[in-house]
């Protein structure tokens, strides 16, 4: 799987942003560094990749700019070797689309992930500060367990130790050996409690019938007492209601009498009472306001008639602004003309001409140069220093390069020149050193040999556990085993049969004891009352009938005596049965119960015999399989299943031994092939070596020779570079000298084109700089003088225009023109101002008059409306004055209040008495005598108290009877207890099964860790050692395994020879170890499966530049097998990445813009 392009269409802060990772490079690492400052979107881009693959969750923190329905991510991804376009939107279902927005199956984008989910992907292929710190804490929590650390590194299960501990704690919570508490102990205690409760509920049938009778009797008597008390209380409540209704009835009669005494009036609106005082008040206000308005109107008309306005002055008001502006310019001219004239005279143009060497110049303006000419002169002056400096610098650099070139040629003289064939041989040797494994294969070989010894010992131990079976692994594999279904069938049948045997034995012991108890009770009853059971009575009756028959046939004394004796015996037995009537019933019950118990005993014995036969049958079936090695003893299904499991363990160990032997042979072949290739390359390069030396010594010899070759090659390249640089410096010196000559010619030409050529000699740059400054002053002085003269002429013109306008206006207004223009202007302004004020006063008075007339009309309208309201009231009550209307309204109000009071009293009486209407209430109260009712109430109060006490007593007796019966519980209570007991047994069975599953699961997980460690330890240990040595910059030689208390533990081997357990390392060293394990895990994953992108987000915050360089080396090695993307906000890390891997692609998030793709810079 590879990301070719990531489209951040609408996601987080991005809109139409594109990250283009390009095509997969061939022959170089696929390493990418995404750079951006803080808040540029690095974490957003990383999360976008995860959301693209696994979907956007229900809630997302990246919907702050684009709402959820509009969020969209796209990408071009290489999956299963095919480039495909994917689009992800935020939707509960069908959120993965193609380029045409058609839904796609989720399995398409996850085809290369091997079924891992988002959490596993984030743990295995996505690193940030948090995961790096958690990984270090995971090393601490695992206490260095080797299998667990390697499993976590390659499978991403960093929480494995915590989960196993949690599962084991859960199992111990149910049952733990020799523990006094636990769920199982609580359930067993509950079983004992239920058994005790059941035994306490056994009671005789006669006692149960008596308790039932008492309950029914007390219940009936209590119900009768409650009904009697309810009748008495009902009568008391009725009397109280009647007594309570008598006072309201009296008030009702009084209200009806007051209503009848009032005169009837027509109903009027309720607001008339509030409106009448307002009408009276308004009439008075209307009279006062009318007189005031008439007086004010008369006064305003008189003032308007006496006011006269100057129309000629008003017509001049429109020109006063223009005249005011002319006056202001007139006054300014009087002040500025003398001052400006003085300034024009003070300009020092002659002094400037003298400084220029041109005294007495007739036309000073001729000396001022145009801007283009001045610009050229200033440009040449500015470039003079640069031209001179370039010439000096170029000459100095040429001398310096020539000296370095001589030194480099002298240094290179000590080396012999290499031929092209020799150079090619050294390059092949360097390539071989980079490609062949170093000490990893030898380390792996030794590790495999140790594993073979350990696995062989384990196989021998597993064979010993199969006794009495003996044989080889091949014979064990050929052993005929029953199917799993048959084993499960044996277990099920054996378990059922054992349960039947156990239950039958328990039931048989209980029933036999009960039978003996019944026989003893029967003997005791017969010993007390004699033979009074039904059989003895039937036998006595039969003997009496036979004696009677014999006596009827014989009719002699002997038969009579025999009949008499039989009859006495029968009468005696009958009298005893009547005397011991209860014992007769008990004997009947004992007899019936004894027969039932005997039948149950026979049934239990039959079940026991069948179950025993089933057990023997199962053992015989198992014996058919075990006869070859255990003919003397039959196995039970559980024992045989355990033996088969031990057989599987032995076969698994045998397979592991064979696999290790094959891997050992392959490793030896690879090591020999690498050694042969290396020695061939050394021979071609002319490197001497010991044929018996180890691989590490051969590599060290090659590296020494290659160091010398690299030094020679570097010096050759440096010589070529210096020769090229000398040529460039010489050319630059020639160009600098030509530029200096060109500058002098241009300068003389510019001076000859202007009056500067009139001077005695061509001036230099310093002189021209001073002349240009004086020319600027001269030009400014000439422009200022011309400006002053122009302003004086314009101000004199403004003065003449003002005087002309003032005299013309004075003539129109009849004002004498004998004074100065300023005084005449003030007289005109005063006349115009007075005319304007008179006009404003007249207009104001006319507006006030118009408002008063409008107010007068409104007052008249309001007065008419008030008159209409008064007439309506007078006509309604048919009276002539408002006082009479007020009296009528008071009567109407009194009648309305009385009617409301009467209705309230009637409703109150109906509610108090519960009658249907007021007529029924009046009928009830008229027939009631207050004294008689009070006497009856006094009589009933003590009676209801006695009845209340009787109810309490009967309820107490009834409750005691119910409690006594509930304590017995009856057959249903015993059944409930039995049901609870069986439920507890089922719960114990299920919990025990769950306990066994958890224990087996924990054992399986630990076994899987051991197997994983054994299978993958060699390769992963070698890679982890190399990565740890690289990232620690040689502070640690690597990692190794060491036997611990329960398992092998991981230790870090220091460069100085010491060692530390993984959980004893410092925090930073643990982080580096975890990173090394992750790198090894990534290599393990991509070796066995396809490549997957590896994402890292600023994990080098705490790394110095040296360790960051080593970390990038690890990433470059990973990028040889898959895509590696590193996000950072540190710019210097991009330079380190370029230094380590020349083909790294650096992406700048600041360049992610709308509608364009991000440019990629490849370091070459």
Average confidence (pLDDT) over 1019-1029? 79
Q: How confident is the model at residue 1163 (pLDDT cuts 50, 70, 90)?
A: very low
pLDDT at 439 over 60: no
pLDDT at 71 over 90: yes
Q: How confident is the model at residue 831 (pLDDT cuts 50, 70, 90)?
A: confident
Q: What is the secondary structure of 196-249 as a DSSP string?
A: HHHHHT---HHHHHHHHHHHHHHHHHHHHHHHHHHHHHHHHHHHHHHHHHHHHH
Residue 34 CA to residue 3 CA, distance in Å, equals 14
The residue behind tokens 């007249």 is 842
In the chain the first and final C-alpha atoms are separated, in Å, by 26
| Three-class secondary structure of residue 31 per DSSP | strand
Residues 1049, 1041: contact at Cβ < 8 Å? yes
Residues 458, 604: contact at Cβ < 8 Å? no
pLDDT at 429 over 80: no
* Sheet of 1059-1061, strands arranged across: 1036-1043, 1048-1054, 1059-1061
* pLDDT (0 to 100) of residue 1156: 40
pLDDT at 324 over 50: yes
Q: What is the secondary structure of 1101-1142 as a DSSP string?
A: TT--HHHHHHHHHHHHHHHTTS-EEEEES-HHHHHHHHHH-T
Average confidence (pLDDT) over 950-956? 83
Among 360-364, 985-989, 1009-1013, where is mean pLDDT lowest? 1009-1013
* pLDDT (0 to 100) of residue 1158: 39
Name the DSSP class of 75. Answer: E
Say whether pTM exceeds 0.75: no
* pLDDT (0 to 100) of residue 289: 84
pLDDT at 787 over 80: no
Pairing of strands 72-79, 1160-1162: unpaired
Q: Which of 978, 957, 954 is nearest to 211 (CA)?
A: 957
pLDDT at 38 over 60: yes
Q: Where are the beta strands (DSSP E) in 54-133?
A: 72-79, 82-89, 96-97, 126-128
* pLDDT (0 to 100) of residue 325: 81
User: Which has more pLDDT, 692 or 60?
Assistant: 60
Average confidence (pLDDT) over 909-930? 79
Please report how many Cα atoms fall inside a 13 Å half-sphere around the Cα of residue 6, on the Cβ side. 24
The residue behind tokens 């580096």 is 1072
Chain-centroid distance, C-alpha 325: 76
pLDDT at 306 over 50: yes
* pLDDT (0 to 100) of residue 441: 61
Tally of CB atoms within 10 A around 1000:
10
* pLDDT (0 to 100) of residue 161: 54
Average confidence (pLDDT) over 372-401? 79
Average confidence (pLDDT) over 488-505? 84
The tokens describing 800, both together, are: 């003449």
Cβ neighbourhood burial of 179 (10 Å; 0-12, 13-18, 19+): exposed
Chain segment 504-552, per-residue pLDDT in tens? 888 888 888 888 888 887 777 776 666 666 666 777 778 878 888 887 7
* pLDDT (0 to 100) of residue 878: 78
**May I ask the CATH class of domain 481-654?**
mainly alpha
39: CB partners within 8 A, 6+ apart: 13
Residue 1121: phi and psi, rounded to 5, are -110, -20
pLDDT at 87 over 90: yes
pLDDT at 364 over 80: no
Average confidence (pLDDT) over 898-904? 84
Chain segment 584-638, per-residue pLDDT in tens? 666 677 777 888 888 888 888 888 888 888 888 887 777 777 666 655 556 777 7
Chain-centroid distance, C-alpha 97: 25
- The continuous run of DSSP H or E covering 262 comes out as none
pLDDT at 1075 over 60: yes
Average confidence (pLDDT) over 1032-1044? 75
Residues 514, 597: contact at Cβ < 8 Å? yes
Q: H-type helices in 110-204, by residue range?
A: 118-125, 129-142, 146-155, 160-174, 183-200
Residues 324, 832: contact at Cβ < 8 Å? no
Residue 131 CA to residue 150 CA, distance in Å, equals 16
Residue 111 CA to residue 1091 CA, distance in Å, equals 11
Residues 21, 4: contact at Cβ < 8 Å? yes
Residue 726 CA to residue 400 CA, distance in Å, equals 9
Q: What is the secondary structure of 785-805 as a DSSP string?
A: HHHHHHHHHHHHHHHHHHHHH
| Three-class secondary structure of residue 416 per DSSP | coil
pLDDT at 49 over 90: yes
Q: How confident is the model at residue 126 (pLDDT cuts 50, 70, 90)?
A: confident
* pLDDT (0 to 100) of residue 136: 57
Distances 877 to 265, 280, 870 between C-alpha atoms, Å = 8, 17, 11
pLDDT at 1159 over 50: no
187: CB partners within 8 A, 6+ apart: 984, 987, 988, 991
The tokens describing 284, both together, are: 């008075």
Average confidence (pLDDT) over 816-835? 76
User: Which has more pLDDT, 707 or 613?
Assistant: 613
* pLDDT (0 to 100) of residue 967: 64
Among 326-330, 551-555, 1160-1164, where is mean pLDDT lowest? 1160-1164
3-state helix, strand, coil in the chain (%, to 5): 75, 5, 20
Distances 214 to 78, 219, 966 between C-alpha atoms, Å = 89, 8, 13
pLDDT at 271 over 80: no
What b/e sequence results for 38-56 when a residue is b if at least 16 CB atoms lie within 10 Å of its CB, and e otherwise?
Answer: eebbbebbbbbbbbbbbbb
| Three-class secondary structure of residue 1032 per DSSP | coil
If you average pLDDT over every residue of the chain, what do you get? 77
pLDDT at 102 over 50: yes
Q: How confident is the model at residue 654 (pLDDT cuts 50, 70, 90)?
A: confident
Residue 971 CA to residue 202 CA, distance in Å, equals 9
Residue 383 CA to residue 750 CA, distance in Å, equals 15
Helices 557-579, 534-554: axis angle to 10 degrees equals 160
What b/e sequence results for 103-115 when a residue is b if at least 16 CB atoms lie within 10 Å of its CB, and e otherwise?
Answer: ebeeeebbebbee
* Sign of the four-CA dihedral 743, 748, 753, 755: positive
Residue 1062 CA to residue 141 CA, distance in Å, equals 10
The tokens describing 565, both together, are: 């004796």
Distances 68 to 55, 71, 87, 101 between C-alpha atoms, Å = 13, 5, 15, 17
* pLDDT (0 to 100) of residue 1116: 92
* pLDDT (0 to 100) of residue 903: 87
Residue 367 CA to residue 776 CA, distance in Å, equals 11
Residue 804: phi and psi, rounded to 5, are -65, -45
Report which listed range, 51-55, 789-793, 1018-1022, is most confident: 51-55
Q: How confident is the model at residue 1154 (pLDDT cuts 50, 70, 90)?
A: very low
388: CB partners within 8 A, 6+ apart: 740
pLDDT at 34 over 90: yes
The tokens describing 321, both together, are: 């602004």
Among 112-116, 335-339, 430-434, 957-961, where is mean pLDDT lowest? 430-434
Q: How confident is the model at residue 583 (pLDDT cuts 50, 70, 90)?
A: low
* pLDDT (0 to 100) of residue 440: 56
pLDDT at 198 over 80: no
Residues 11, 66: contact at Cβ < 8 Å? yes
What is the maximum alpha-carbon separation in the chain?
208
What b/e sequence results for 1008-1032 when a residue is b if at least 16 CB atoms lie within 10 Å of its CB, and e otherwise?
Answer: ebeebbbbbbbbbbbbbbbbbbbbb
Residue 1120 CA to residue 29 CA, distance in Å, equals 5
The residue behind tokens 């008390």 is 229
Residue 762 CA to residue 755 CA, distance in Å, equals 11
Q: How confident is the model at residue 50 (pLDDT cuts 50, 70, 90)?
A: very high
């Amino acid at each position: 799987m590879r990301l070719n392009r990531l489209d951040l269409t609408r996601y987080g802060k991005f809109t139409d942003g594109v990250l283009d990772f390009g095509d997969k490079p061939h022959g170089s690492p696929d390493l990418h560094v995404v750079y951006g400052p803080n808040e540029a979107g690095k974490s957003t881009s990383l999360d976008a990749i995860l959301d693209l693959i696994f979907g956007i969750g229900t809630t997302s923190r990246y919907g702050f700019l684009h709402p959820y329905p509009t969020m969209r991510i796209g990408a071009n991804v290489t999956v299963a070797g095919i480039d495909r376009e994917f689009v992800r939107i935020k939707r509960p279902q069908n959120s993965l689309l193609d380029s045409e927005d058609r839904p796609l199956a989720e399995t398409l984008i996850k085809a290369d992930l091997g079924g891992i989910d988002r959490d596993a992907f984030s743990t295995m292929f996505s690193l940030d500060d948090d995961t790096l710190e958690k990984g270090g804490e995971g090393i601490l929590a695992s206490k260095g367990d080797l299998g667990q650390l390697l499993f976590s590194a390659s499978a991403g299960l960093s929480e494995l130790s915590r989960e196993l501990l949690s599962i084991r704690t859960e199992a111990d919570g149910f049952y733990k050996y020799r523990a006094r508490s636990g769920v199982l102990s609580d359930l067993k205690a509950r079983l004992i409690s239920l058994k005790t409760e059941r035994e306490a509920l056994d009671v005789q049938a006669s006692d149960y019938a008596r308790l039932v009778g008492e309950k029914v009797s007390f219940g009936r008597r209590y119900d009768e007492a409650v009904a009697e008390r309810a009748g008495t209380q009902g009568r008391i409540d009725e009397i109280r209601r009647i007594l309570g209704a008598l006072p309201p009835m009296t008030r009702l009669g009084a209200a009806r009498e007051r209503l009848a005494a009032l005169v009837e009036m027509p109903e009027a609106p309720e607001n008339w009472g509030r409106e009448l005082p307002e009408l009276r008040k308004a009439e008075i206000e209307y009279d006062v306001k009318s007189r005031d308005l008439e007086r004010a109107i008369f006064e305003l008309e008189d003032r308007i008639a006496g006011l006269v306005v100057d129309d000629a002055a008003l017509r001049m008001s429109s020109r006063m602004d223009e005249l005011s502006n002319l006056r202001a310019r007139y006054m300014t001219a009087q002040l500025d003309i003398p001052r400006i004239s003085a300034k024009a005279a003070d300009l020092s143009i002659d002094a400037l001409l003298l400084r220029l060497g041109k005294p007495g110049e007739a036309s000073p303006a001729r000396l001022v140069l145009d801007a283009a000419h001045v610009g050229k002169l200033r440009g040449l002056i500015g470039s003079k220093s640069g031209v001179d400096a370039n010439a000096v610098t170029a000459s100095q650099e040429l001398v310096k390069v020539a000296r370095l070139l001589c030194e480099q040629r002298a240094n290179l003289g000590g080396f012999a020149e290499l031929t092209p064939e020799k150079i090619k041989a050294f390059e092949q040797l360097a390539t071989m050193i980079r490609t062949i494994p170093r000490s990893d294969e030898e380390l792996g070989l030794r590790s495999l040999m140790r594993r073979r010894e350990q696995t062989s010992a384990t196989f021998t131990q597993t064979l010993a556990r199969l006794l009495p079976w003996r044989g080889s692994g091949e014979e064990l594999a050929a052993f005929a085993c029953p199917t799993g279904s048959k084993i499960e069938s044996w277990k099920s049948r054996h378990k059922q049969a054992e349960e039947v045997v156990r239950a039958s034995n328990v039931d048989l012991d209980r029933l036999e004891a009960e039978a003996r108890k019944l026989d003893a009770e029967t003997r005791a009853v017969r010993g007390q009352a004699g033979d009074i059971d039904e059989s003895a009575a039937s036998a006595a009756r039969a003997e009496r009938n036979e004696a009677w028959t014999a006596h009827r046939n014989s009719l002699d004394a002997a038969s009579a005596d025999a009949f008499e004796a039989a009859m006495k015996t029968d009468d005696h037995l009958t009298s005893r049965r009547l005397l011991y009537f209860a014992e007769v019933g008990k004997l009947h019950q004992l007899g019936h119960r004894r027969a039932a118990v005997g039948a149950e005993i026979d049934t239990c014995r039959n079940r026991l015999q069948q179950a025993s036969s089933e057990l023997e049958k199962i053992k015989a079936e198992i014996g058919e399989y075990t006869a070859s090695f255990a003919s003397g003893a039959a196995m039970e299904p559980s024992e045989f299943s355990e033996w088969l499991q031990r057989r599987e363990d032995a076969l698994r160990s045998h397979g592991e031994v064979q696999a290790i032997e094959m891997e050992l042979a392959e490793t030896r072949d690879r090591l020999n092939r690498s050694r042969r290739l290396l020695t061939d390359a050394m021979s071609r390069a002319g490197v001497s070596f010991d044929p018996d030396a180890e691989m590490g010594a051969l590599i060290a010899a090659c590296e020494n020779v290659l160091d010398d070759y690299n030094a020679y090659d570097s010096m050759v390249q440096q010589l070529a570079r210096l020769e090229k640089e000398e040529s460039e410096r010489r050319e630059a010196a020639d160009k600098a000298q030509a530029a200096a000559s060109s500058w002098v010619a241009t300068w003389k030409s510019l001076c000859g084109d202007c009056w500067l050529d009139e001077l005695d000699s061509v001036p230099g740059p310093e002189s021209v700089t001073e002349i240009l400054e004086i020319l600027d002053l001269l030009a400014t002085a000439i422009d200022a003088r011309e400006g002053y003269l122009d302003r004086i002429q314009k101000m004199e013109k403004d003065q003449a225009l003002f005087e002309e306008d003032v005299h013309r206006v004075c003539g129109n207004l009849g004002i004498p023109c004998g004074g100065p223009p300023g005084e005449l202007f003030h007289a005109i302004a005063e006349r115009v101002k007075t005319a304007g004020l008179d006009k404003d006063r007249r207009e104001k008075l006319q507006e006030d008059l118009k408002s008063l007339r409008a107010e007068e009309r409104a007052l008249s309208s309001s007065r008419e409306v008030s008159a209409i309201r008064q007439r309506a009231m007078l006509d309604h009550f048919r009276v002539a004055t408002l006082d009479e209307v007020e009296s009528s309204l008071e009567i109407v109000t009194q009648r309305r209040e009385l009617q409301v009071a009467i209705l309230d009293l009637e409703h109150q009486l109906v509610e108090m008495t519960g009658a249907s209407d007021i007529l029924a209430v009046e009928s009830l109260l008229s027939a009631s005598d207050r004294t008689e009712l009070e006497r009856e109430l006094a009589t009933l109060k003590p009676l209801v108290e006695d009845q209340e006490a009787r109810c309490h007593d009967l309820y107490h007796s009834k409750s005691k009877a119910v409690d006594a019966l509930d304590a017995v519980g009856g057959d249903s209570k015993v059944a409930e207890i039995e049901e609870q007991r069986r439920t507890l047994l089922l719960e114990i069975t299920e919990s025990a099964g769950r306990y066994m599953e958890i224990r087996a699961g924990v054992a399986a997980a630990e076994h899987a860790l051991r197997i994983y460690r054994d299978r993958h330890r060699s390769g992963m240990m070698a890679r982890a050692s190399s990565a740890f040595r690289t990232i620690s910059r040689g502070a640690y030689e690597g990692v190794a395994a060491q036997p611990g208390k329960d398992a092998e533990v991981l230790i870090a081997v220091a460069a100085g020879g010491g060692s530390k357990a993984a959980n004893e390392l410092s925090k930073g060293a643990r982080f580096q170890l975890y990173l090394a394990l992750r790198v090894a895990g990534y290599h393990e994953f991509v070796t066995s499966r396809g490549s997957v992108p590896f994402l890292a987000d600023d994990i080098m915050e705490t790394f110095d530049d040296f360790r960051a360089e080593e970390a990038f080396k690890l990433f470059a090695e990973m990028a040889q097998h898959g895509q590696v993307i590193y996000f950072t906000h540190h710019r210097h890390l991009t330079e380190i990445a370029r230094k380590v891997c020349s083909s790294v692609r650096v992406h700048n998030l600041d360049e992610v813009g709308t509608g364009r793709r991000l440019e990629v810079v490849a370091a070459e």
